[in-house]
């Protein structure tokens, strides 16, 4: 476990902005995570659990309290074994139907989705290819029901082990997780994801690797991966695409300081170097207003904000 004080959050977010957290604790095990959370709760210290900070905007004033970071050490992946999973009886991955023979495995909250996808490929398991290019962790990914190219974590999740507000460890079924587009129940109940049990079908390693490379190529082609960002800044509105509406509202390339709506993909708000959180927040507000005026659609941020704005 690593304990840091006055730690700049710009070093722990893919947007590369954010002031200092009073404390940042990098945990390596479930025991350390539960212990640190118990201390925060007992002492009334505000806390937030983060993964790789790839969906976060942290205030320039930082965070008054403790940030607990799972990315790094708390990243084990272990096979549970072949399982006959009966979706009809509420023990199957959301979206699956009937009974099928799958292989299931647990991944800890801090495991990167890239590592989980690579592990699945190396074990000849298909269904996780979509997640290989999502730069987050299992914990952040489950909370957001991260997804891409037609796949979502909710589709391959059987159970999620969580820590409840009273410090109890419990397993939630995929159904109880209430997965929907970029949503899971932990957004409402504040539970902390400890690990997730995924179930995948047997596949062929070469085909899995080829699909992962195809999707990586699509990302390189369409997304401004050369700049810091937090991915898609806004959720996909019903019946449309945020990037399309932003472009139609004339916001492509719009900037505040070094914060800019990417010229390559208008759904991405990028940091061209020296942007701060205030610039980013101001640009977000401008874009939301212009899109509302132009199309009548209210964009909802996908990125989550920490600290005061």
Query: Which positions touch ligand FAD (CB under 6 A)?
Result: 14, 48-56, 70, 109, 134-137, 139-141, 143-144, 146-148, 186, 192-193, 223, 225, 229-231, 304
- Minimum distance of ligand FAD from residue 82's CB (angstroms): 27
Q: Would you say 85 or 268 has its CB closer to ligand FAD?
A: 268
Whether 295 is catalytic:
no
- Minimum distance of ligand FAD from residue 206's CB (angstroms): 24
The span from the CA of 169 to the CA of 162, in Å, is 6
Q: Which helix (H) or strand (E) holds 126?
A: strand 125-126
Question: Please, which contacts does 256-264 make with residues 24 or more away whose CB atoms are closer than 8 Å?
Answer: 256/280, 256/282, 256/283, 256/286, 259/283, 261/287, 262/224, 262/227, 262/229, 263/224, 264/222, 264/223, 264/224
User: One of 121, 182, 281, 290 is an active-site residue; which one?
Assistant: 182
Q: Would you say 43 or 226 has its CB closer to ligand FAD?
A: 226
Q: State whether the Cα torsion 269-274-280-283 is positive or negative.
A: negative
Whether 96 is catalytic:
no
List all residues 6 or more positions away from 37 whose beta carbon is below 8 Å from its beta carbon. 47, 49, 68, 163, 167, 192
> Distance from CA of residue 49 to its chain's centroid?
12
- Minimum distance of ligand FAD from residue 299's CB (angstroms): 16
Q: For the CA atoms of the chain, what is the radius of gyration?
A: 19
Q: Would you say 174 or 193 has its CB closer to ligand FAD?
A: 193
Q: Would you say 17 or 87 has its CB closer to ligand FAD?
A: 17
- For residue 45, the tally of other CB atoms under 10 A from its CB is 14
The span from the CA of 25 to the CA of 285, in Å, is 32
- Minimum distance of ligand FAD from residue 27's CB (angstroms): 10
Q: Which helix (H) or strand (E) holds 304?
A: strand 304-306
Whether 302 is catalytic:
yes
User: One of 161, 232, 262, 288 is an active-site residue; which one?
Assistant: 232
- Minimum distance of ligand FAD from residue 56's CB (angstroms): 4
Q: Would you say 110 or 203 has its CB closer to ligand FAD?
A: 110
Q: Which residues are marked as active site?
A: 182, 232, 302
């Amino acid at each position: 476990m690593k304990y840091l004080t006055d730690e700049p959050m710009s070093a722990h977010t893919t947007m590369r902005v954010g002031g200092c957290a009073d404390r940042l604790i990098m945990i390596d095990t479930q025991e350390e995570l539960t212990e640190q959370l118990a201390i925060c709760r007992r002492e009334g210290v505000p806390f937030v659990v983060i993964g790789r900070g790839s969906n976060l905007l942290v205030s320039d004033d930082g965070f008054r309290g403790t940030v607990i970071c799972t990315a790094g050490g708390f990243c084990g992946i272990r096979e549970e074994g072949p399982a006959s999973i009966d979706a009809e009886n509420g023990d199957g991955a959301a979206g699956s139907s009937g009974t099928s023979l799958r292989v299931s495995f647990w991944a800890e909250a801090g495991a990167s989705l890239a590592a989980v996808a690579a592990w699945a490929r190396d074990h000849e398991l298909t269904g996780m290819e979509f997640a290989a290019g999502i730069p987050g962790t299992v914990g952040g990914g489950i909370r957001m029901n991260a997804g891409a190219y037609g796949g979502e974590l909710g589709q391959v999740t059987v159970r999620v082990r969580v820590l409840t507000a009273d410090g109890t460890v419990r397993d939630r079924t995929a159904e109880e997780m209430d997965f929907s587009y970029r949503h899971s129940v932990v957004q409402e109940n504040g539970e902390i994801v400890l690990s997730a049990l995924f179930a995948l079908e047997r596949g062929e390693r070469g085909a899995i690797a080829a699909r992962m490379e195809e999707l990586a190529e699509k990302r390189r082609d369409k997304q401004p991966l050369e700049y810091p960002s937090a991915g898609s800044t806004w959720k996909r509105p019903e019946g449309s695409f945020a990037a399309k509406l932003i472009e139609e509202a004339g916001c492509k390339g719009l900037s505040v300081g070094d914060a800019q709506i990417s010229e390559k993909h208008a759904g991405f708000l990028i940091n061209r170097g020296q942007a701060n959180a205030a610039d980013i927040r101001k640009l977000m507000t401008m874009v939301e207003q212009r899109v509302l005026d132009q199309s009548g659609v209210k964009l909802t941020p996908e990125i989550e904000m920490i600290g005061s704005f």
